[in-house]
Amino acid sequence: MKPKVFIARPVPPEVESYIAQHCRYSKWAHHDPISHEELVKELADAEGLLTAGGRVSADLLNHAPRLRAVSTMSVGYNNFDLDAMKARNIIGTNTPGVLDDTVADLIFALMLAAARRVTELDSYVKQGQWKKGEGDRLFGVDVHHKKLGIIGMGRIGEAVAKRARFGFGMEIMYYNRHRKPEAERKLEAEYRELKDLLRHSDFIVLMTPLTPETRHMIGQAEFALMKSTAVFVNASRGQTVDEEALTRALQERTIFAAGLDVFEREPVQPSNPLLSLPNVVTLPHIGSATKQTRDEMAMVAAENLVAALQGQTPPHVIPELRQDS
């Protein structure tokens, strides 16, 4: 008998058709997230779960006695209780690679928008405030030929570096857990210790995964090291930044501007002071949000799940859940 799968998010028809070829399945057909109670009911007899950002906790796993594999339609997996999954020998997979260029495009959009004050000045024009002869009141900062510091030189970091180096003539510096000799050679990137990178970069892009070590990795001390003309961009996870410290840095002009696709609490609350600051560009966590990329991510996630349930090694097993880890 085919294994039973639950699809916890709407997926494209071709993805659903692929799963149907290999599995029995039920699905959540609504765009609102499924409740914990409903998910518990669906997982009572499911062997596989296809999700996208939903919390997979020890409590949830206790209600899923037959579950063998969980596949997320995302790169990040900080929503997985890895210890609980490992204790139950549950395979976990994600979708790295397919979204790299799409996210890198968005990061560059944030860099440009924050540096040249695009959203701020868009509102300025639309509100009828534009007058002749305003001169340096409308100045931004250049992007081309500046120094870019990348914290977390993974696939997306390298895609950003490629755009910066060969499209904008930027000088690339990076900080990473491990040196990347190939990136250093191909992208003329220079490894720097974190404090050194923060002091010398004109643009700082944070692209680290969220782990206990990276939570609030960038806070008051780190912002104090940055140039007053620096632009800070976060497209990793909101919890990697101390938001209160970021708010103060922007209010006090410790740094020039920021571009954010992620926040400590999502969806961001209207009372969040970052939303009232003119020198920050705020987006609703849309790094991979194009139809083509999201459809490809859903198919990769489905292929991972089917492979796991068929006893194969999926292409994208989460490192901490590999059998040899």
Q: What are the residue numbers of the active site?
A: 237, 266, 285
CA distances from 288 to 44, 69, 95, 212, 239 (A): 31, 24, 11, 24, 19
Dist CA 295 CA 11 (whole Å):
8
Among the listed residues 139, 214, 203, the one whose alpha carbon sits nearest the alpha carbon of residue 176? 214
User: SS3 of 233, please?
Assistant: strand
The pair of structure tokens assigned to 32 is 């609102």
Tell me the CB-side half-sphere exposure of residue 204, using CA atoms within 13 A: 29
Distance CA 280, CA 231 (A): 9
Q: How many CB atoms lie within 10 A of CB 228?
A: 10
Q: What angle do CA 100, 101, 103 make, to 5 degrees?
A: 70
Tell the burial category of 184 from Cβ atoms under 10 Å away from its Cβ (0-12, 13-18, 19+).
middle
Which DSSP letter does residue 279 get? T
Q: Alpha helices, DSSP H only, in the chain?
A: 13-22, 36-42, 58-62, 82-87, 100-115, 118-126, 155-168, 181-187, 194-200, 220-225, 243-251, 291-309
HSE-CB of 301 using CA atoms within 13 angstroms = 34
